[in-house]
């Protein structure tokens, strides 16, 4: 038998041969270099055994045996429907952890140091209007200094990506790490103590989200999207943050109330924001409240966008699909127990 497999995006010359090399698979590949049309997907998924989707494609099931997404997040997949139909769901954790952590640090630095404003001044030919000045473009420093020897880094969500981000910040001299995490995950003071010791920090502590907001100099949002985390960063939380603090979101736009964040930046409740994801993206125009905020540095959902990582993610997505259809062990399968 041959299994029809729908591939919602060309995965490139390194990865497509993995799929094309399997005689058991009959591939139907979206031919264009843009997100596939919903209608095309719905038409072609009919009778398919598997599908490889991007986070831009919404899927729920039908005749499928497997949904393989080229992303670590899977809130675009109706997991309840997938679980109810007994489908397998593959995703791409781990391979993007470092790339996303790298970008999270970049956003923290960009936002703190007025990177967005600085770049725009130069690009608009306005440097002469903003020559070097003793306190021009100054923002809060990420590294500690002799006169300012403590830095508290906070995380909403404390999975692999958050911990990789923490590791990158150690050489900046940070002293404390606070995080809040999913109530269903067991607290581990042992792991916290181990991390503090490993990185020579004064403390690593799981606290409630309000305390993370109140205490953090830089607050990273690195938790999954979906209904469970919708607008966890809202006006109430932002009002608790320090006026010198930086907010970084490299997870999903839905975790942040954009209007509240724009207000927080406008009114100086926080210093700046570094944003990789915006609710409603990619429909984010120049009139969007966050785009209009000079202290908001926004990049268009590129946290995992390195040549190496995207190739690894595409490879993993192909391997997950092939394994599920040909009866092997998927390299990275979402645990769907508890759904449906």
Footprint of ligand GLV (CB under 6 A) = 55, 71-73, 93, 96-97, 159-162, 222, 304
Q: Which residue is nearest to ligand GLV (CB)?
A: 159
Give Rg (Cα) of the chain: 22
Please, what is the minimum distance in Å from the beta carbon of residue 225 to ligand GLV?
8
Instruction: Given the residues 9, 151, 176, 301, select the one marked as catalytic.
Output: 301
Compare residues 73 and 289 and give the one whose CB is closer to ligand GLV.
Answer: 73
Residue 253, C-beta contacts closer than 8 angstroms, at least 6 positions apart: 225, 277, 278, 279, 280, 281
What torsion, rounded to 10 degrees, do the Cα atoms 121, 127, 131, 136 define? 10
271 vs 312, which CB is nearer to ligand GLV?
312
Spatial strand order of the sheet with 296-298 comes to 203-206, 176-180, 152-156, 218-221, 246-249, 272-275, 296-298
Is 281 an annotated catalytic residue? Answer: yes
Q: Is 231 a catalytic residue?
A: no
Report the nearest approach of ligand GLV to the CB of residue 61 (Å). 20
Which lies closer to ligand GLV via its Cβ, residue 56 or residue 144? 56
| Distance of alpha carbon 132 from alpha carbon 148, whole angstroms | 24
C-beta of 72 vs 110, nearer to ligand GLV: 72
Min. distance of Cβ 340 from ligand GLV in angstroms? 21
Q: How far is the CB of 160 from ligand GLV (least distance, A)?
A: 4
Q: Which is catalytic among the residues 113, 151, 252, 288? A: 252
CA 3 vs. chain centroid, Å, equals 32
Residue 294 Cα to chain centre, angstroms = 22
Q: Is residue 211 among the annotated active site residues?
A: no
Distance, in Å, from the CA atom of 218 to the CA atom of 246, rounded to the nearest integer, reads 5
Which CB, 28 or 67, lies closer to ligand GLV? 67
Q: Which residue reads 């009959």 in tokens?
A: 26
CB of 53 to ligand GLV, least distance (A): 11
Choice among 211, 239, 281, 311 that is catalytic = 281
Give the residue numbers marked as catalytic: 252, 281, 301
């Amino acid at each position: 038998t041959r299994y029809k497999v729908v591939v919602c995006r060309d995965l490139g010359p390194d990865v497509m041969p993995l799929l094309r090399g399997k005689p058991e698979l009959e591939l139907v590949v979206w031919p264009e270099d843009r997100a596939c049309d919903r209608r095309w997907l719905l038409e072609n998924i009919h009778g398919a055994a598997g599908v490889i989707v991007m986070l831009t494609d919404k899927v729920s099931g039908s005749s499928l045996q497997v949904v393989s997404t080229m992303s670590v997040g899977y809130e675009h997949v109706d997991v309840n429907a997938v679980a109810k139909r007994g489908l397998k769901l593959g995703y791409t954790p781990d391979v993007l952890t470092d790339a996303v952590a790298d970008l999270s640090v970049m956003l923290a630095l960009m936002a703190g140091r007025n990177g967005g404003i600085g770049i725009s001044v130069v690009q608009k030919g306005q440097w002469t209007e903003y020559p070097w000045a003793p306190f021009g473009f100054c923002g809060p420093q990420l590294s500690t200094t002799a006169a300012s020897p403590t830095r508290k880094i906070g995380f909403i969500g404390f999975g692999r990506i958050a911990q990789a981000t923490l590791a990158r910040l150690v050489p900046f001299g940070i002293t404390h790490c606070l995080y809040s995490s999913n109530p269903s995950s067991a607290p581990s003071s042992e792991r916290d103590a181990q991390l503090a010791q490993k990185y020579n920090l004064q403390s690593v502590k799981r606290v409630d989200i309000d305390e993370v907001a109140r205490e953090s100099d830089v607050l990273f949002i690195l938790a999954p999207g979906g209904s469970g985390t919708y607008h966890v960063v809202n006006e109430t939380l932002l009002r608790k943050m320090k006026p010198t603090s930086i907010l970084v979101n490299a997870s999903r736009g839905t975790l942040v109330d954009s209007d509240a964040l724009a207000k927080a930046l406008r009114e100086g409740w926080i210093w700046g924001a570094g944003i990789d994801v915006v609710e409603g993206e990619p429909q984010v125009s120049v009139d969007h409240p966050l785009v209009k905020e000079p202290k908001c540095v926004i990049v268009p959902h590129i946290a995992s966008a390195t040549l190496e990582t995207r190739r690894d993610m595409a490879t993993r997505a192909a391997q997950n699909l092939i394994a599920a259809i040909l009866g092997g062990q998927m390299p990275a399968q979402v645990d769907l127990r508890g759904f449906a």
